[in-house]
A and B are shown apart, each in its own frame.
Chain A
């Protein structure tokens, strides 16, 4: 069976070869894979760094320091040092709450906290703190020196010697204790709490006045641990003067006992009386030899003697306090410092219960729940969960001992090896299959080569063209040569043609009429046949004077040809009955200019003496002076220009259009809108005017048979081609169907 490794973060099981959790990407292996936990011991972080970082007393036992840190723990990770093996000096940690104090003293002899120093008669107040009238306790609070709460806490109201009387205290007291664990003590709280300690200090001050050889009365009710801590088995000093009644008996005795010992601590530093200064402290400190700032003041200019340990460790182990005091060598400068009188109210707090007895077997008591919660055993139980919250404890490399400094980021800590593939089952419906099949067919059709089919020959196109041309030529030629009347004129005359005839008939006799020849020589046959009957009808009925003009370079020649052929029967003579104004250059611009001032725009023709100066057009200086304007055009553009550009200048002068079959339908809107009087479009439109003109000059009739034959030929050609095409399609599809 395969082994699995539980992720410390999510608890999921992972393969042992995976360096990271495949669920939460938590690192399962340390950074250095070559690290062997069995080979490399884990080194805890030094206590100095921890204590300095947390600002707490380094000499506290583990469980108490951890209790403080657990309460005040924030985001900053804490390092749980490995469990130290129990020494033979102290009892097991689960039984002796103060065992850690003694245990920690040994490796921390290099640094003694202030409160311990005060207990043992040494003042290590930093420079600038603690003047002559400043209470040493307050200075301790200001310096942030840590005092164990069970020492600084007020005595039990009942005077009991139980250090854990606070188990019955309300929650506020617990919080106050927590605050002390975190940031030291407060001066105000100290003033309220340590009243009994002040009394004790006052007792100690009073004891200073007594000779040090005063016999200490025997105390029978001193707690065992206190006597063991002091190394005194009941041979203590006598009762203290004053205040003994308020204090517990054991505490009074203890205060009397330590009155002489703590004099140096209870008095301001640098002012220790000479007669009390030589009392040795309980614990030697390496800083004793260094000159304190207060001592190094100008008031005490004596040189500092070299640092000499006050007593050895062996003497401390023997715990013979008296011997220690006697063997302690006080420096001269300390002995020479005068000690001012200590006011009773500035008595330092008592340090009676602060001295842990190295070999004091404490009686197990029933601890309150909050104390139990702070026990190291409890933290051991919650260790894994804590690790999961705070991160992994680095056990190798430069980050050794740090915890949670390298959070597992999935983007960074991606597993190097490929994760285990997960089988995915695609649930496809029939519709999906159909779509996929269609897509495959489309892709296959795109890549499939197409067979190039040979293009079918278009057939004998040239023959077809020649055949069509021959048929049209022969039939039309036969119709023209025969001069027959096979096809009769239509019985109905178009409306526009009738309007044109009426417009011509409305021209006054002998009036001036402007004829515009705007067609090309290619349409001469159609245009002359279309216009001949209408112009002949006009000349026959009204005998107008004509002015011929053209916007086409060949228009003037075509106009002369029209007058000489189409209406030759009317005998109009150029320069007498009509005048050819020639070519009007400029197209639209020329038409506009001519419409604005006909005489000015044709000044060149006037210079030649062929127009207005000939006397053909007297009194026609403006376009509106003409009785009618007849435009012969074979294009939409020309007819539109004459209609639009002469609309305003011509006024009410009728405008009649003679257009080809091609341009006639396009000019019909102008007739429908009233801008044009009438339109004669093509032979079909000219049939009516010719009929009304008594068949004169007969151009329409001459072309009518050929025109109709041509129409039928065209119709039959389209019909035949359609039938042929339909048969081809039918013949092509029939074999496929079969």
Chain B
């Protein structure tokens, strides 16, 4: 069975890859990609079904926190039903999103800002070494260079330090990361094509 899956994965990957280089294979490439999109959408439905099943089990077993599970299921089904019926451009749906989803996640992001600041303060107490000092110094420079003073800009910071840190150090590091990501993606694709890695095989 694994051989069949390997053959399908290798053939599909090779056809999609060939579609980038050969125009006649573009249609076949798109067909395979449409199948992949359908499967991905179905996977989301499977995930939703699994979420419902888990929380339903908890409600049925009256486990601790089952009331939260009940609220989750009610919100899920109501959003699903109203979303399909009304559509995403419905004012009621937008209000629901803007008053529930966005504030909740934005609050978490705000907590993240506080946590990062607290972590930077504790870093000097927990791990005081050269790299920690360099990290915090760079962060402090970027903060002060990104800001403006009430009476104007800090000339050297806004015109030299910040652009230099952003376009030299940050850009160089980002390029290195992107090249590494590209090479890793290439290697992963080759391993999947030759069957060395079988992510479709499961756990």
Q: Which residues of A contact B (CB under 8 A)?
A: 458, 461, 464-465, 468-469, 472, 486-492, 494, 520-525, 553-554, 556-561, 564, 574, 580, 582, 584-587, 589-590, 592-593, 596-597, 600-601, 610, 640, 648, 665-669, 672, 684, 707-708, 710-715, 717-722, 724-725, 728-729
Find chain B residues with CB under 8 A from A558 CB: 97, 102
Within 8 A of A (CB), among B109-148: 109, 113-114, 117-118, 120-125, 128, 136, 139-140, 143-144, 146-148
Find chain A residues with CB under 8 A from B148 CB: 487-490, 708
A710-B170 in contact (CB<8A): no
A719-B98 in contact (CB<8A): no
Additional A-B contacts beyond A465-B118, A721-B125 (8; CB < 8 A): A464-B121, A521-B106, A525-B106, A561-B98, A666-B174, A711-B147, A715-B147, A720-B121
Find chain A residues with CB under 8 A from B149 CB: 487
Q: A486-B150, A668-B166, A668-B170 are in contact. Are A590 and B37 (CB under 8 A)?
A: yes
B5 → chain A closest CB, angstroms: 18
Residue in contact with B143 in the complex, picked from A464, A520, A712, CB distance below 8 Å: A712
B136-A722 in contact (CB<8A): yes
Within 8 A of A (CB), among B73-120: 87-89, 91, 93-94, 97-98, 101-102, 104-106, 108-109, 113-114, 117-118, 120
B37-A718 in contact (CB<8A): no
B117 → chain A closest CB, angstroms: 5
A550 → chain B closest CB, angstroms: 10
Q: Report the interface size class on chain B.
A: 35 or more
Find chain B residues with CB under 8 A from A582 CB: 88
Residue in contact with B109 in the complex, picked from A522, A574, A600, A710, CB distance below 8 Å: A522
B150-A487 in contact (CB<8A): yes
Q: List the 4 shortest-distance A-B pairs measured between CB atoms, nearest first.
A: A522-B105, A721-B121, A586-B37, A593-B33
B37-A593 in contact (CB<8A): yes
A669-B88 in contact (CB<8A): no
Find chain A residues with CB under 8 A from B175 CB: 669
Nearest B residue to A553 via CB reads B44
B45 → chain A closest CB, angstroms: 10
A711-B143 in contact (CB<8A): yes
- Interface class of chain A by DSSP: helix
Find chain A residues with CB under 8 A from B150 CB: 486-488
B94-A557 in contact (CB<8A): yes
| Contact indicator per residue, chain B 161-193, by CB within 8 Å of chain A (1) or not (0) | 001001100110011011001000000000000
Q: How far is the CA of A494 from the CA of B202 in the complex (A)?
A: 47
Nearest A residue to B171 via CB reads A668
Residue in contact with A711 in the complex, picked from B29, B34, B105, B146, CB distance below 8 Å: B146
Find chain A residues with CB under 8 A from B143 CB: 711-712, 714-715, 718
B170-A589 in contact (CB<8A): no
The 15 sampled A-B contact pairs (Cβ below 8 Å) are A464-B118, A490-B153, A490-B158, A522-B105, A524-B102, A557-B94, A561-B102, A580-B88, A589-B37, A596-B33, A668-B166, A668-B174, A669-B174, A672-B171, A729-B128
Once A and B bind, how many residue pairs between them come within 8 Å at the CB atom? Answer: 184
B166-A665 in contact (CB<8A): yes
Find chain B residues with CB under 8 A from A669 CB: 171, 174-175, 178
B105-A520 in contact (CB<8A): yes
Find chain B residues with CB under 8 A from A597 CB: 30
- Indicate if B11 sits at the interface (CB-CB under 8 A): no
Find chain A residues with CB under 8 A from B109 CB: 522-523
Residue in contact with B105 in the complex, picked from A521, A593, A600, A640, CB distance below 8 Å: A521
A708-B40 in contact (CB<8A): no
Q: A524-B106, A640-B178, A711-B147 are in contact. Are A721 and B159 (CB under 8 A)?
A: no
- Indicate if B26 sits at the interface (CB-CB under 8 A): yes
B74 → chain A closest CB, angstroms: 19
B128-A725 in contact (CB<8A): yes
Nearest A residue to B79 via CB reads A557
B125-A458 in contact (CB<8A): yes
Q: A580-B89, A725-B125 are in contact. Are A719 and B171 (CB under 8 A)?
A: no
Q: A554-B101, A666-B174 are in contact. Are A593 and B88 (CB under 8 A)?
A: no
B114-A465 in contact (CB<8A): yes
- Indicate if B36 sits at the interface (CB-CB under 8 A): yes
Q: How far is the CA of A582 from the CA of B41 in the complex (A)?
A: 13
Q: Which residues of B contact A (CB under 8 A)?
A: 20, 26, 29-30, 33-34, 36-38, 40-41, 44, 87-89, 91, 93-94, 97-98, 101-102, 104-106, 108-109, 113-114, 117-118, 120-125, 128, 136, 139-140, 143-144, 146-150, 152-153, 158-159, 163, 166-167, 170-171, 174-175, 177-178, 181
Find chain A residues with CB under 8 A from B158 CB: 490-492
Find chain A residues with CB under 8 A from B124 CB: 721-722, 724-725
Q: How far is the CA of A718 from the CA of B177 in the complex (A)?
A: 27
Find chain A residues with CB under 8 A from B88 CB: 556-557, 559-560, 580, 582
Q: A465-B114, A715-B144 are in contact. Are A574 and B89 (CB under 8 A)?
A: yes
B103 → chain A closest CB, angstroms: 8
A383 → chain B closest CB, angstroms: 85
Nearest B residue to A715 via CB reads B143
Nearest B residue to A725 via CB reads B124
**Most chain-A Cβ atoms within 10 A of its Cβ — which of B102, B152, B171?**
B102
Residue in contact with B34 in the complex, picked from A601, A708, A720, A724, CB distance below 8 Å: A601
Q: How far is the CA of A585 from the CA of B163 in the complex (A)?
A: 37
B178-A593 in contact (CB<8A): no
B138 → chain A closest CB, angstroms: 10
A592-B177 in contact (CB<8A): no
B97 → chain A closest CB, angstroms: 4
Nearest B residue to A578 via CB reads B89
Find chain B residues with CB under 8 A from A714 CB: 117, 120, 139-140, 143
Find chain A residues with CB under 8 A from B87 CB: 610
Find chain B residues with CB under 8 A from A710 CB: 113
Q: How far is the CA of A560 from the CA of B146 in the complex (A)?
A: 31
Q: How far is the CA of A564 from the CA of B88 in the complex (A)?
A: 12
Q: How far is the CA of A83 from the CA of B175 in the complex (A)?
A: 106
A576 → chain B closest CB, angstroms: 12
A665-B125 in contact (CB<8A): no
A623 → chain B closest CB, angstroms: 12
A522-B108 in contact (CB<8A): yes
Q: A557-B88, A586-B41 are in contact. Are A468 and B121 (CB under 8 A)?
A: yes
A529 → chain B closest CB, angstroms: 12
Residue in contact with B89 in the complex, picked from A560, A593, A665, CB distance below 8 Å: A560
Q: How far is the CA of A285 from the CA of B32 in the complex (A)?
A: 121
A714 → chain B closest CB, angstroms: 5
A472-B174 in contact (CB<8A): no
Find chain A residues with CB under 8 A from B146 CB: 684, 711
Find chain A residues with CB under 8 A from B174 CB: 665-669
Residue in contact with A585 in the complex, picked from B37, B104, B108, CB distance below 8 Å: B37
A589-B97 in contact (CB<8A): no
Find chain B residues with CB under 8 A from A580 CB: 88-89
Nearest A residue to B29 via CB reads A596
Q: How far is the CA of A250 from the CA of B146 in the complex (A)?
A: 146
Q: A489-B148, A521-B105, A589-B33 are in contact. Are A666 and B40 (CB under 8 A)?
A: no
B105-A601 in contact (CB<8A): no
Q: How far is the CA of A227 from the CA of B175 in the complex (A)?
A: 129
Find chain B residues with CB under 8 A from A610 CB: 87
A306 → chain B closest CB, angstroms: 105
**Most chain-B Cβ atoms within 10 A of its Cβ — which of A494, A520, A593?**
A593
Find chain B residues with CB under 8 A from A525 CB: 106
Find chain A residues with CB under 8 A from B108 CB: 522
Find chain A residues with CB under 8 A from B121 CB: 464, 468, 717-718, 720-721
Find chain B residues with CB under 8 A from A587 CB: 40
Find chain B residues with CB under 8 A from A494 CB: 163
A585-B97 in contact (CB<8A): no
A294 → chain B closest CB, angstroms: 98
A593-B40 in contact (CB<8A): no
Find chain A residues with CB under 8 A from B177 CB: 666
Nearest B residue to A649 via CB reads B26
Q: How far is the CA of A458 from the CA of B150 in the complex (A)?
A: 36
Q: How far is the CA of A469 from the CA of B104 in the complex (A)?
A: 17
